[in-house]
Amino acid sequence: MTDYAAPDLPAEILLIEDDPEIRRVLRTTLSLERYNLREASTAMEGMKTIASCQPDAIILDLGLPDKDGIEVIHQVRQWNKLLPILVLSVRSREQDKISALDAGADDFVNKPFAVGELLARLRVADRRSSSILTERMDAIFRIGEIDVDLARRKVTVAGEEVHLTRIEYKLLQILIRHADMVVTHSQLLNEAWGPNHGDQVHYLRVYMLQLRRKLEKDPARPRHLRTEPGIGYRLITEPLAR
Ligand code: CA
């Protein structure tokens, strides 16, 4: 893999998608954004291209003619934990998205997608991967008026200290680690409570409500701690460019 030092240099992106129309649209827009695009129309072809050209990111369709896209995610994650994988999904198929995210995809974009949203999600995934590579997690994480001092475990909202319970802080920490990306219910439950609580989504609902009450100006209409219906939660640090 190439280094991520200069995010505006052309990065190599592999698109694995069997729909020629989507490939055409992305070929045009990604080249305008100075990305180099490689294309594969089957999972097999995609895996071969990953091995031979080592792309910087993958955009992956889940419904491929030869194999399920989730199988591709599993295979990639066996040897590369960091390579950003963005999934193209169908809006109504929540379970597919959950499986893809739990398999290690970074995020998803619903078809039909706005190209601006896809590019923004790609940049977020790439930023996460580069911040892990260089281990430069900011000591103070700023989300609007919320400051999280990760070294001191101190949270302030508009300068006022807010006390979080251990689990509330843990959940916030997980969301920060995946800032601007979706985190599934089971990822949150497994990390915050441990491996045997994966199905207790009602815990999460209660704790996310509490977190919103403590951190959001209008907890009923949260700006930062957002629900991804049927899938999980997303910590929005900045509005997406469209
Ligand atoms: Ca397809």
For 127-172, the pLDDT digits (tens) are: 777 766 554 456 788 899 999 988 788 999 999 999 998 889 999 9
Give the mean model confidence (pLDDT) for residues 95-104. Answer: 93
114 CA → ligand 1 middle, Å? 17
Superfamily of domain covering 12-136: Response regulator (3.40.50.2300)
Q: How would you classify residue 55: left for phi > 0, otherwise alpha for psi between -120 and 50, otherwise beta?
A: beta
Q: What residue spans in the chain does CATH classification 3.40.50.2300 cover?
A: 12-136
Burial 191-211 (b: 16+ CB within 10 A, else e): ebbeeeebeeeebbeebbebb
Q: What residue spans in the chain does CATH classification 1.10.10.10 cover?
A: 140-235
Mean pLDDT, rounded, of the chain: 87
pTM, to two decimals: 0.73
| CA 82 to mean position of chain CA atoms | 12
For domain 140-235, the CATH class is: mainly alpha
Ligand 1 is an ion; its neighbours by CB within 5 Å are 18, 61, 63
Q: Hey, CA dihedral for 50, 39, 62, 239, is it positive or negative?
A: positive
60 CA → ligand 1 middle, Å? 9
Higher-confidence residue: 19 or 131?
19
